[in-house]
Structure 1
Amino acid sequence: MAGALDGIVVLDLSRILAGPTCTQLLGDLGAKVIKIENPGSGGDDTRAWGPPYVMGPDGQPTDLSAYFMAANRNKLSVAVDIATADGQATIRALAAKADILLENFKPGGLAKYGLDHATMLAAHPGLVYCSISGFGQTGPNAAKPGYDLMAQGYGGIMSLTGDPDGQPMKVGVGIADVMCGMYATVGILAALRHRERTGEGQLVDVALVDTQIAWMINEGVNYLTSGQVPQRRGNGHPNIVPYQVFDAADGHVIVAAGNDGQFRRTCAFLGVEGLADTPDYATNPARCANRATLIATLEPLFRARTMAAIIAGLEGAGVPVGPVNRIDQALASDQVAARGLVVDMARDDVAGGAVKLLGNPLHLSRTPVSYRHAPPRFGQDTDRILADLAASAKPG
């Protein structure tokens, strides 16, 4: 069954995570993604970001680090040195056949090669050219490099993450990069829709910091509305109480009492029904104002019960509740299996003949995602792609 983007060709000049996340998603949706990797550096930086690595049949590490594989399936790897005249000519020839070009060089970094958006769009007016950078193509910080950790720090999310009395804390994965890749995907799809109507390509300018600011969501608007700077609350919620992690006798549970009725039923389960009638706790605004004393009252009540008892009891009462799983527990769950969120992709040049990857979360009834190409070894498709390019250039 053809994917939604079947027939779309993506020329991917990106590396690390934000750009590759975007192009992997486009590839999952059916696009042909040609990943350009620098032969002088051994390819995408993340090929060396291990361990762990997938092992070859000889028991030695391959260039398939887990980090690289997380964002590079459904791609063809072509080794091209864009610093050379031949390499630049190859990119231009590939761009002539592409619908989308994505890059994450510093703003202006491709101009010296004649591969910048102004030059490429002049030559190919229908091209959708997406540039991902740390701060965007404009503004006083445009020339500064962009890394996920820097974006999390600059954009404010670290000030909200972590223990109230500890250091600001980054999110455990590169969420600024990943969300930038998601926004880039949306922008590219919107630009493709515009091209369908008009034939016009355009520049899609996406920045790590811009997107990180955008997904501050309620905390950002809390500040804009109140003028009060949001504070770190650990696992607590700024606007709902109790909505957080509690210690159980044998682990940790999440309790999300999102309204007064759910709070009342939580109190009943814990054997403190009268707590819900106390003026300090009867309404959510009152509970927010008296958060510290309420949580101090609830904590020992949860700690005296097992995870299983808490989950069964609150689920039975219609209160949102769940476990805090380790990654191994999450990936081994029956829900993950039912939704196909762990996939095996065959490679005959690795130990075991396959690699395991996280699946795509999109479920489209007519144009489902597909897993056609395992993450590529460096430059494995160079000869074939360049031979096809040469053949298509011949007259007749």
Structure 2
Amino acid sequence: MMLQHLRVIDLTSDLGGYAGALLARLGADVVHIGRSPTTLDPGEIEMATHGKRVLDMALDDPALIALIADVDILFRGDERLPVALAPEALAALNPALIDVAILPFDSDGPNADRPATDLTLMARSGLMTIIGDPDRPPLTLPGRQAWALAGIQGAIAALTALNARAADGLGQMASVSAYRSAVLANYREPLMWDWAGRVGNRTGNLLVRGKSGVRQVWECADGYVTWAFVDNQPMMRAVVARMAADGMAGALGEVDWDAILVADTPRETLIGWEELVLAWLATKTKAELTELSNRHGIGLSAISSVEDVLASEHLAARSLWQDADVAGKTVRVPGPIFRETTS
């Protein structure tokens, strides 16, 4: 395991718990202080605590200070902690400590004291503006994505500080904002605002480029795949050739891909082309389409269902899955992300 030499204390009670769980999956010895979170459902609790040791200890217990004096990384959330656990006090106690605060907002910003939930952070980030169909209300993603993104950024902050400590032996204080983490995940829209002054809109199952939009998600014989008409002439010719081999290319067989721009093609024309592709895809399974894409370069990817992921031979070969007890049931959860191998 990559991080088996690291000792981590996790003081989070909800937000930020995923950061410690990620390091635990990489082999670190992570001790969660206090009872497991009670605001999460059983599955979320397991994802936030899997691989950690839970130590039911009060935050003002002197024994906790003794533990922190001898660890590498500490994660804290937005909970109010005793003065003895203030960053300055812990830095004096353990100069090599990497102290990572995972908060809803910047600790010194105008929203520092505002309440926040995963839903409100997703909305404020702008992600909900672009998720869903244009003629329906905005949506959020399944689960608690802002919370998860903050945990990922917290783990990255800790490992970045760990790399810096290797040079000078000194720890660091890092602060991660769940709000900023969600904004960073919405990378395209902030850039569009900075460069073009445009606010993104929900486009549903259309990828909008130029003057038109093209379909992105398609149904096939046993599920869904992702593909789109794009200005990539070899890819377009490869797709049409496969359709023609099955006698299903229709009008697409007459298109000179070197003479047009898909981005400038009227949507009405694209709809007619898409109907031909949809009919062809309906005759193929995800496995068949993946094989055709790999062999002929048609740029298509299968969309995995939960069942597909759990049954994946590739993930099984990496020993990704581990069994965990969730609310009295044995379920499979992700284990170590990376593994060391010997040759």
User: If the TM-score is normalised by the length of the shorter chain, which range does it land in?
Assistant: 0.7 to 0.9
Contact 2:221 2:285 (8 Å CA) reproduced? no
Contact 1:249 1:303 (8 Å CA) reproduced? no
Unaligned runs of 5+ in 1: 50-64, 368-396
1:304 aligns with 2:279: yes
227, 237, 257: which one aligns with 1:255: 227
**Which amino acid letter does the alignment assign opposite residue 254 of structure 2?**
G
Note closer, same or farther for the CA distance 1:355–1:30 as it changes in structure 2 (3 Å cut): same
Residue number in structure 1 paired with 2:26: 29
Task: Map Cα deviations across residues 232-290 of structure 1 (whole Å, 9 max, x no partner).
Answer: 111333459646102346643321455232133334425112345496xx235325xx4
Contact 2:133 2:204 (8 Å CA) reproduced? yes
User: What RMSD over aligned residues (CA atoms) do the two structures have, in Å?
Assistant: 2.9
**Which amino acid letter does the alignment assign opposite residue 304 of structure 1?**
A
Task: Map Cα deviations across residues 286-343 of structure 1 (whole Å, 9 max, x no partner).
Answer: 25xx4x3354223422342354527536525321223334312332233332333322
- Whole-angstrom CA distance in 2 between matches of 1:336 and 1:198: 38
- Whole-angstrom CA distance in 2 between matches of 1:231 and 1:32: 44
Residue number in structure 2 paired with 1:374: none
Task: Map Cα deviations across residues 195-242 of structure 1 (whole Å, 9 max, x no partner).
Answer: 222222111100111111122223321232221211111133345964
321, 333, 341: which one aligns with 1:357: 333
Note closer, same or farther for the CA distance 1:196–1:260 as it changes in structure 2 (3 Å cut): same
Residues matched between the structures, number: 329
SS in 1 for 2:174: strand
**Which amino acid letter does the alignment assign opposite residue 47 of structure 2?**
A
Residue number in structure 2 paired with 1:44: 37
**Which amino acid letter does the alignment assign opposite residue 34 of structure 1?**
V
- Whole-angstrom CA distance in 2 between matches of 1:128 and 1:102: 9
Displacement of 1:69: 1.4
- Whole-angstrom CA distance in 1 between matches of 2:335 and 2:273: 38
**Which amino acid letter does the alignment assign opposite residue 300 of structure 1?**
E
Equivalent runs, 1:1-396 vs 2, <5 Å: 3-16=1-14, 18-38=15-35, 43-46=36-39, 49=41, 65-82=42-59, 85=60, 87=61, 89-106=62-79, 109-110=80-81, 112-239=82-209, 242=214, 244-248=216-220, 251-256=223-228, 259-268=232-241, 269=243, 271=249, 272-277=252-257, 282-287=260-265, 290=266, 292-307=267-282, 309=284, 312=288, 315=293, 316-344=295-323, 355-365=331-341
- Whole-angstrom CA distance in 2 between matches of 1:29 and 1:249: 38
The answer to which of 114-123 and 130-139 deviates more is 114-123
- Whole-angstrom CA distance in 1 between matches of 2:110 and 2:173: 20
Give me the TM-score of the superposition, normalised by structure 1. Answer: 0.74
Contact 1:255 1:320 (8 Å CA) reproduced? yes
Displacement of 1:13: 0.7
Contact 1:260 1:284 (8 Å CA) reproduced? no
- Whole-angstrom CA distance in 2 between matches of 1:358 and 1:285: 40
- The answer to which structure, 1 or 2, has the higher relative contact order (CA under 8 A, 6+ apart) is 1
Contact 2:106 2:176 (8 Å CA) reproduced? yes
**Which amino acid letter does the alignment assign opposite residue 138 of structure 1?**
D
- Whole-angstrom CA distance in 1 between matches of 2:20 and 2:97: 15
**Which amino acid letter does the alignment assign opposite residue 12 of structure 1?**
D
- Whole-angstrom CA distance in 1 between matches of 2:256 and 2:13: 53
SS in 1 for 2:99: strand
Note closer, same or farther for the CA distance 1:188–1:299 as it changes in structure 2 (3 Å cut): same
SS in 2 for 1:158: helix
Note closer, same or farther for the CA distance 1:299–1:339 as it changes in structure 2 (3 Å cut): farther
The answer to which of 184-193 and 236-245 deviates more is 236-245
Contact 1:248 1:302 (8 Å CA) reproduced? no
- Whole-angstrom CA distance in 2 between matches of 1:30 and 1:195: 19
Note closer, same or farther for the CA distance 1:260–1:252 as it changes in structure 2 (3 Å cut): same
SS in 1 for 2:173: strand
Note closer, same or farther for the CA distance 1:239–1:203 as it changes in structure 2 (3 Å cut): farther
Unaligned runs of 5+ in 2: none
Contact 1:244 1:255 (8 Å CA) reproduced? yes
Identity %, equivalent residues: 25
Contact 1:36 1:77 (8 Å CA) reproduced? yes
Note closer, same or farther for the CA distance 1:195–1:335 as it changes in structure 2 (3 Å cut): closer
SS in 2 for 1:98: coil
